[in-house]
Amino acid sequence: MLETIEIETAPDPDAAVIWMHGLGADGHDFEPVVPQIVRPRERAWRFVFPHAPVRPVSINNGMSMRAWYDILGFERGTAEDTAGFRATDKEVSGLIGRQIERGIAAERVVLAGFSQGGAVTLYTGLRYPQRLAGLVVLSSYLPMPQTLPGDRAPANDGVPIFMAHGIDDPVLPMSMGLQSRDFLKSQGFDVEWHQYRMPHSVSEAEIADLRHFLFRVLP
């Protein structure tokens, strides 16, 4: 099981948000947003922030860092790390299973992620065999779209997806997010799209919109 940080906003949580960080960061990265999303005791939610394994990353000259999968390049047609995604899928599915064991139904679990973590959110969330409450994809993209039609889980055909991107993102251009959004919509998925005047980061407006989304999918 991945090492995680947990924050509970009130005793006896009845919902969980599992939030994956971006390349080179760790589970502490998004801890500060919790009080911006849920005020103390406003909801009884458990936020789970896992640490990605440390592995060599090709685009960083093979340097080892926390990463959910290897990145070989961002150019169109570049091979993707299929084995890395499959391994991480098992780890993240295990985190969902752990919440179910602790009494939170899968339909009360949201998967969330920023950048690399957002790609993992889409990979696992759309293939998970039980219905989830929602998916949150921040400044990210859909990995391996060619395999999705055959791999998608019918249970999550209607899962709400919150996608947000920075107009000025120099790391993952917004065009990657838009292409992913359009493909997901073409496959019948329910995508709520937001864009903000920001680089590869998060903004107060984005967190406010995310709060509204989470309160809707976790009533």
Two tokens at 135? 């998916």
Burial class of residue 171, CB neighbours in 10 A (0-12, 13-18, 19+): middle
In angstroms, the first-to-last Cα distance of the chain is 29
**Residue range of the domain that includes 154:** 4-217
- If phi > 0 it is left, if psi is from -120 to 50 it is alpha, else beta; for residue 126 that is alpha
Two tokens at 166? 């920075």
- Low-confidence winner among 5-19, 28-42, 75-89, 194-208 (lowest mean pLDDT): 75-89
Number of domains in the chain: 1
Please confirm, yes or no, whether 200 is among the known catalytic residues: yes
Query: For residue range 179-213, what is the model confidence (pLDDT) as tens digits?
Result: 999 999 999 999 999 999 999 999 999 999 999 99
Domain holding 84: CATH number? 3.40.50.1820
Catalytic residue, chosen from 29, 70, 89, 115, is 115
Please confirm, yes or no, whether 139 is among the known catalytic residues: no
Alpha helices in the chain (DSSP H): 34-37, 82-101, 116-125, 148-151, 174-186, 204-217
**Measured distance CA(165)–CA(198) in Å, rounded:** 8
Query: For residue range 116-127, what is the model confidence (pLDDT) as tens digits?
Result: 999 999 999 999
Catalytic residue, chosen from 26, 93, 190, 200, is 200
Tell which residue, 180, 128, 194, 134, has the closest CA to residue 158. Answer: 134
Catalytic residue, chosen from 29, 70, 81, 169, is 169
β-bridge pairing 45-50 and 134-138: unpaired
- Contact yes or no for 151/127 (Cβ under 8 A): yes
Average pLDDT over every residue of 149-157: 97
Please confirm, yes or no, whether 190 is among the known catalytic residues: no
Query: For residue range 135-150, what is the model confidence (pLDDT) as tens digits?
Result: 999 999 999 999 999 9
Question: pLDDT-derived band of residue 74, with 50, 70 and 90 as boundaries?
Answer: confident
